[in-house]
Structure 1
Amino acid sequence: MLPIQNFKDFISHNSLFIASDKILLAVSGGKDSVLMAHLFKLAGFDFGIAHCNFNLRADESQRDESFVRMLANSLEVPFYVTHFKTKNYAAAHKISTQMAARDLRYNWFEEIRESNNYNFIALAQHQDDAMETVLLNLTRGTGIAGLHGIFPKRDKLIRPLLFLSREQINELIAEHNIDFVEDSSNLSVDYARNKIRLKVIPHLKEINPNLEQTFEQNIQRFSETELVLQKAVSELREDLLVEKQNSLHLSIAKVKALKPQRLLIFELLRPFGFSELVVIELLQALNKQSGTSFYSSSHRITIDRDDLILNPIVEENLQLAFIHVNDQSVNLSQHKILMSFIDEPYFEKSTKRAFVDADKLMFPLVVRTWQSGDKFMPLGMKFFKNLSDFFIDEKIPLAEKAGVPILINGNGEIIWLGGMRQDDRYKVTSATKKVAIFDLK
């Protein structure tokens, strides 16, 4: 007899869905997904079946599609199918065939779910899949977040077979004489997951015949440990990440005091895309000269005197430097900006010098190249103008505008386009008591 009650209990215990929900099942035709379809039918749930034909195995792909279509007809449920040019997609996006297939199927499943009013998408992953995922993540070094295996529920994805092992699924399929199709690629060791399944796990099971149960318990411990860690990181984030001048600042002194330093900083910076290797290099460089930067695909973190300064990478060629109140100069690419002060109102007309009301400055200042969306109030005007429009009006070539040094106040406002125009909000007036002079060299 199929384990209907255990199936329902697992769904209820993990709050996967309620009886009135409508579920879209991802069915390949293999043992796992076919068993899932039969369990849904016998449990009386409202469901439909979706099948992806990736056109990777010639006649075998067509056979799988025909089988799943017949399965849906026999179960009297809606059937959805699509065909992908998987290798073309992989080549166009410069990713592996496996990653291409993953992207394509999940995007399509979500389209079908939304357009046909399904509440969730059910995937037929089981305990062995969770174990293989942990072993893969261990070899790739994904940190503790990679050790919790596969969650029973995440967003609109549910995995109602995680209470079963592969061996139990095989036994149920054989006992009940349930038809299925075999994917020949599952026997290929060209894929990392298959190597784990076919080459590694059999040896581990020689050491521990109850490997699946042991990993299930380990995964539970890892998940609980991750919850504790994330709680600590969340509290750390509140204390350590301080928003200033449209950037996030991390006190270097507080970073140095952390224990365990590498783990906590890695978890803190992981949402911004920083790898563990980059975090290690960053921590080793904390005592280096200010201005040293480290990058993820989306963010930059720069070592300043007292802080690490975290910014999104808005423009590919963005450059930046910082000016502190006691600095006399700063370099940006081929430019050098000198800063000095005088204690009396003074101003002269010059594109190479800016005369600024010093009391309006908020340090550290930033010198950077321009970004899309930048705007300022040109000296002598009372309205804002986009830098892109200003450059066009001034007939500045594209190659030149990318190198214009822009002086930014601590509040994010533009003070001066170096060598071009000052912002009216920071001009010297009769009420000015102290003047900051910036020279472009």
Structure 2
Amino acid sequence: MLQKFQNHLLHNFQFLNGKKLLLATSGGIDSMVMVHLFQQLEYKIGIAHCNFQLRGMESFGDQDFVQEYALANEIQVFITQFDTKAFAEDYKLSIQVAARELRYNWFYEVLETEKFDYILTAHHADDNIETFLINLTRGTGLEGLTGIPEQNENVIRPFLLFSREEIEAYAKVNTIQWREDSSNTSDKYLRNKIRHHLVPMLKELNPNFLSSFHKTETYLQEAQAMVEDASIIVYQQVAKQEEENIHFDLNQLKKLPNYKSYLYQWLNEFEFSAWDDIYDLVESQSGKQVFSPEFRLLKDRDFLILSPINFVDEKEEYLIEENQEEVKIPLNLSFYKVADISIVSNKTIFVDANRLQFPLVLRHWNEGDVFQPFGMDGKSKKVSKLFKDEKLSLLNKENTWLLCSKNEIVWIVGIRQDNRFRIENNTQNILKIELE
């Protein structure tokens, strides 16, 4: 196994030579064999151990075991403890997901602070099969069937070519000590049920199952690569980036024979899960939305608009004093006293400063807001009606600010000035307000 591992590193991970490697080490057989092999090959390694405090004193026994091994072998060691249950409850996560988030966040922290180059985990071939079957039982796209990647940015998994049987045999021959995790014997978790019952049955049906699975996984990875290539080409025809938003042209999208697959490919990385709702958006009325934890997809006439979720505080407001010349937050506004007016635009207005009551207020619009559009003497209009006439999307509405004098709107910023503050022939005090 040592020679096989050395050849594997030489052909697939030659870039690890001379690098500083952080080995994720639970104390179990897989990670302890990985540590042993890297010691034999004299790589620069450190050990990182997480105590999730999920198994009482047994968890602390694992911690002591890893720490003692590192000290005895003069290996740099990093230990941390997590209140995993509390974290899972606070963020409404499963224990497994919470542990994974805590673990990798800490690994990356150690990677940066201690100047390691890569994180290495001891995931092996049987772990790969179990992950495939878990994803299959839950329902997944093609990418969920391509297995655990050997490399994901700075995370390397060099053990995926080894089976659990190979690892156990090497540990016994080399008298490697390890800790047994009592939770691995329980069928409480889906992974353990698959490990204890389904995988042995598959191996019984086909003694070469691991080899066959590896071939299938390779074919699926190749198919996924073709899908990704096609997805990039079509994306360039359908999608357009506008600042932090992505606009998908529905007229172009619906020309595709299988547009749902493309939507899944494009949106899956944004952690959406309500796929039927997303597909229904294509034919829904404007204003319908679907949310992921950090993003939303909005139907706006002939577009689907993907944007980060920015929660709008309707009570958020900013005061502008009389002699203030500029505002930087939330908008970049400038105020100038001028002798005459020049070109008026959506981004530049001129008002009668004597009609203003300071401090001015910059706030979000509210339902029921009414103003008098510039050029329409005495005629009032709901701000919401203006938005509709201007065909503003929900995102545009949420990002629109009103400049107000007391309870009167001076300017729907960047869109329309209010007529009540217009410049007249007898205006003595002209204020130019500009959105930069």
Work out the CA distance in 2 between the residues paired with 1:157 and 1:244: 32
Amino acid in structure 1 at the alignment position of 2:39: K
Work out the CA distance in 2 between the residues paired with 1:129 and 1:16: 24
Q: How does 1:27-106 map to 2 (within 5 A)?
A: 27-106=25-104
* Correspondent of 1:269 among 244, 267, 270: 267
Amino acid in structure 2 at the alignment position of 1:43: L
- 2:341 maps to which residue? none
Structure 1 residue 302 corresponds to structure 2 residue 289: no
Q: How does 1:290-329 map to 2 (within 5 A)?
A: 290-315=286-311
- 1:394 maps to which residue? 406
Instruction: Report if aligned partners of 2:240, 2:246 keep a CA contact under 8 Å in 1.
Output: yes
Work out the CA distance in 2 between the residues paired with 1:186 and 1:30: 11
- 2:377 maps to which residue? 348
Work out the CA distance in 1 between the residues paired with 2:81 and 2:243: 49
- 2:163 maps to which residue? 165
Q: Alpha-carbon deviation of 1:22?
A: 0.8
Q: Alpha-carbon deviation of 1:191?
A: 1.4
Listed one character per residue, the Cα deviations across residues 211-240 of structure 1 (whole Å, up to 9, x for unaligned) are 222222222122111111111111111110
Instruction: Report if aligned partners of 2:237, 2:252 keep a CA contact under 8 Å in 1.
Output: no
Listed one character per residue, the Cα deviations across residues 7-61 of structure 1 (whole Å, up to 9, x for unaligned) are 1222233236332101111111111001001100100101111212222222212
Closer/same/farther in 2, CA of residues 85 and 301 from structure 1, 3 Å limit? closer
Closer/same/farther in 2, CA of residues 362 and 32 from structure 1, 3 Å limit? same
Aligned length: 371
Q: Alpha-carbon deviation of 1:298?
A: 3.1
Aligned partner of residue 59 in structure 2, secondary structure: helix
Structure 1 residue 281 corresponds to structure 2 residue 281: no
Q: Alpha-carbon deviation of 1:151?
A: 1.2
Instruction: Note the aligned Cα RMSD (angstroms).
Output: 3.6
- 1:215 maps to which residue? 213
Q: How does 1:213-252 map to 2 (within 5 A)?
A: 213-243=211-241, 247-252=245-250
Listed one character per residue, the Cα deviations across residues 67-121 of structure 1 (whole Å, up to 9, x for unaligned) are 2122212322112212222222222222222222222222222222222211111
Aligned partner of residue 52 in structure 1, secondary structure: strand
Closer/same/farther in 2, CA of residues 350 and 95 from structure 1, 3 Å limit? same
Amino acid in structure 1 at the alignment position of 2:107: F
- 1:174 maps to which residue? 172
Work out the CA distance in 1 between the residues paired with 2:93 and 2:85: 10
Unaligned runs of 5+ in 2: 315-364, 425-436
Q: Alpha-carbon deviation of 1:371?
A: 4.3
Work out the CA distance in 1 between the residues paired with 2:243 and 2:278: 22
Closer/same/farther in 2, CA of residues 51 and 336 from structure 1, 3 Å limit? closer
Q: Alpha-carbon deviation of 1:336?
A: 10
Instruction: Report if aligned partners of 2:46, 2:76 keep a CA contact under 8 Å in 1.
Output: yes
Instruction: Report if aligned partners of 2:300, 2:393 keep a CA contact under 8 Å in 1.
Output: no
Instruction: Report if aligned partners of 1:415, 1:422 keep a CA contact under 8 Å in 2.
Output: no
Instruction: Report if aligned partners of 2:247, 2:304 keep a CA contact under 8 Å in 1.
Output: yes
Listed one character per residue, the Cα deviations across residues 137-190 of structure 1 (whole Å, up to 9, x for unaligned) are 112223111112111111111112112110111111122222111111111111
* Correspondent of 1:124 among 119, 122, 125: 122
Work out the CA distance in 2 between the residues paired with 1:362 and 1:170: 71
Work out the CA distance in 1 between the residues paired with 2:40 and 2:49: 21
Instruction: Report if aligned partners of 2:376, 2:419 keep a CA contact under 8 Å in 1.
Output: no
Percent identity between the aligned chains? 34
TM-score normalised by structure 2 residue count: 0.74
Closer/same/farther in 2, CA of residues 350 and 215 from structure 1, 3 Å limit? same
Aligned partner of residue 296 in structure 2, secondary structure: strand
Work out the CA distance in 2 between the residues paired with 1:368 and 1:44: 56
Work out the CA distance in 2 between the residues paired with 1:244 and 1:87: 41
Closer/same/farther in 2, CA of residues 141 and 394 from structure 1, 3 Å limit? farther
Aligned partner of residue 103 in structure 2, secondary structure: helix
Listed one character per residue, the Cα deviations across residues 341-379 of structure 1 (whole Å, up to 9, x for unaligned) are xxxx9431555368xxx9xx996444668647x55xxxx
Q: Alpha-carbon deviation of 1:195?
A: 1.6
- 2:414 maps to which residue? 414
Aligned partner of residue 51 in structure 1, secondary structure: strand
Amino acid in structure 2 at the alignment position of 1:308: L
Amino acid in structure 1 at the alignment position of 2:155: L
Instruction: Report if aligned partners of 2:123, 2:160 keep a CA contact under 8 Å in 1.
Output: yes
Closer/same/farther in 2, CA of residues 247 and 254 from structure 1, 3 Å limit? same
- 2:200 maps to which residue? 202
Instruction: Report if aligned partners of 2:375, 2:419 keep a CA contact under 8 Å in 1.
Output: no
Instruction: Report if aligned partners of 1:28, 1:68 keep a CA contact under 8 Å in 2.
Output: yes
Instruction: Report if aligned partners of 1:47, 1:77 keep a CA contact under 8 Å in 2.
Output: yes
Aligned partner of residue 125 in structure 1, secondary structure: coil
Work out the CA distance in 1 between the residues paired with 2:288 and 2:247: 15
Work out the CA distance in 1 between the residues paired with 2:305 and 2:79: 49
Aligned partner of residue 347 in structure 1, secondary structure: coil
